[in-house]
Amino acid sequence: MEFQVPQFIEQKPKIVGPLTLAQFFYLAGAATVSFIAYNLFGAFLWILISLIAFGAGIGLAFVKVNGQDMTKILGSIFNYFAQSRTYTWQRQAAKTTLELSDEDLSNLREHMSIQEKLKSLALKVSVGRILGKGLPAENSSGEEGYEVVTYLTGEQKLAKRIDY
Q: Which of 27, 18, 11 is nearest to 60 (CA)?
A: 27
Higher pLDDT among residues 158 and 33, named by residue: 33
What is residue 96's predicted lDDT score, i.e. its pLDDT?
74
Residue 163: which pLDDT band, with cuts at 50, 70 and 90?
A: low
Q: Is the pTM of this model over 0.95?
A: no
Report the distance separating Cα 14 and Cα 157, nearest Å.
66
What is residue 138's predicted lDDT score, i.e. its pLDDT?
45
> How do the domains of the chain map onto residue ranges?
21-82, 102-160
Mean pLDDT, all residues of the chain: 80
Task: Using the predicted structure, report yes or no on whether residue 137 has a pLDDT greater than 50.
Answer: no
Give the CA angle between residues 90, 93, 95 to the nearest 5°. 165
Q: What contacts 24+ positions apart, CB below 8 Å, involve 128-136?
A: 131/156, 131/158
Name the range with the highest mean pLDDT among 40-49, 103-112, 138-147.
40-49
Contact 46, 38 (CB under 8 A): yes
Contact 71, 41 (CB under 8 A): no
What is residue 95's predicted lDDT score, i.e. its pLDDT?
77
Name the DSSP letter for residue 18: T
Instruction: Using a pLDDT cut of 70, give the percent of the chain over it.
Output: 85
How many helices (H) and strands (E) in the chain?
5, 4
Task: Using the predicted structure, report yes or no on whether residue 50 has a pLDDT greater than 90.
Answer: yes
Residue 120: which pLDDT band, with cuts at 50, 70 and 90?
A: confident
Residue 129: which pLDDT band, with cuts at 50, 70 and 90?
A: low
Report the distance separating Cα 71 and Cα 82, nearest Å.
16
Residue 77: which pLDDT band, with cuts at 50, 70 and 90?
A: very high
